[in-house]
Amino acid sequence: MFKRLMIGMLLLVTAATQAQDLDRLLNLRGYWKFSIGDHKEWAGVEYDDSDWEEIYVPRRWEREGFNGYDGYAWYRTTFSGDELEKEGAHYLRLGYIDDVDEVFFNGVKIGFSGGFPPDYYTAWNAKREYRIPNELLNYDGENLIAVRIFDKGGEGGIYSGEVGLLVADAAYNEMYSLEGLWKISRRDRDEFADVDYDDSRWEDIVVPSNWKTIGMRNYKGFAWYRKEFEMPSGGKETEFTLIGGYIDDFDEIFVNGVKIGETNDGRRIGRSRSFSELRIYDIPEGVLKPGKNTVAVRVEDIGDNGGIYRGPVTIIPSRIVTKFTREFRFWR
């Protein structure tokens, strides 16, 4: 039980952290642009923040001249695409943030932790690390990071930990990371596995993370996850495996409406070990298509924390699964 509770406390741990070494590509500690208040356009690349204050990151904003301030604030910084590696998988590490955050890269939301009002819940003690989708990276110009924060009380801001851009060696050219934003519903319907189901009104959740990150505390039962991703045409690989990370407690996973695997040892809480098993399911040949594809995951939690709580969550050529999982187990 103690091990189970400790695992449930790992809110945001990415596959790259566990499966392989991450090299620090760019140190982002230093002075960022900063403004109190809250406006959606502040996430945008075109917004002019030249008249904003500057604040040191990481450091509590009270210690940077904003003593006693509680509420919304934004941070912005830019860096040159010359720093990026075209063959790498990039991650943004933001240390610890008090209390709630949303993170935008070149104007697109790539992750969040905690809950903004009116459904407020803090994530002050969760490490922030978000995968940056390759399609958002500007290799030939400037890249923008914008962070929206809400602090309810006490000290606030990006207050401690490593802040920087990291890169994982892209040893696997046809590996498709599924980490990042997914859709989630607390209902349980068979139609949620269908490739054409409209999940646009579902809530967002970051994968991997547990249900606490979206305020689902003490929730037991079923929830569905869905994510759409792109596969380019012209790839050489024909056989793929989905690595579904660690799921608390039981799961069924569907790719383009086809069930590819499940894990359920049928035991009760305290005896079940399904939460500690890495999900590795082969995808039948022909199920994946060039263009848009959909993954749907039915999760059942029988107690404590729930969800797809730890990576790696990825689709990988079947021929290198053994190598990948061996490296993963070494680095975890």
Q: State how far Cα 141 lies from the chain centre.
A: 25
Q: State how far Cα 159 lies from the chain centre.
A: 20
Exposed, middle or buried, 310 (CB in 10 Å: 0-12/13-18/19+)? buried
Residue 86 lies in a domain: yes
Residues 84 and 146 placed together within one structural domain of the fold: yes
Which residue range forms the structural domain that includes residue 293? 176-331
> Phi-psi bin for 118: left (phi > 0), alpha (psi -120 to 50), beta?
alpha
Q: Residue 9: how many CA atoms within 13 Å on its side-chain side?
A: 8
pLDDT band for position 7 (cuts 50, 70, 90): very low
Residue 138 lies in a domain: yes
Residue 6 lies in a domain: no
Is the predicted pLDDT of residue 289 greater than 70, yes or no?
Answer: yes
- Residue 76 pairs in a beta bridge with 33, 146
Residues 251 and 223 placed together within one structural domain of the fold: yes
Residues 208 and 260 placed together within one structural domain of the fold: yes
Residue 162 lies in a domain: yes
Residues 57 and 148 placed together within one structural domain of the fold: yes
Residues 205 and 96 placed together within one structural domain of the fold: no
> What is the rounded CA–CA span in Å between residue 154 and residue 117?
17
Residues 147 and 291 placed together within one structural domain of the fold: no
SS3 244: strand
pLDDT value at residue 257:
98
pTM tops 0.75, yes or no: no
Domain count, the chain: 2
pLDDT value at residue 170:
53
Residues 164 and 211 placed together within one structural domain of the fold: no
Residue 24 or residue 39, greater confidence: 39
Sheet strands side by side (includes 307-317): 176-177, 307-317, 240-248, 278-283
pLDDT band for position 19 (cuts 50, 70, 90): very low
pLDDT value at residue 327:
66
Q: What is the mean pLDDT of residues 54-79?
A: 97
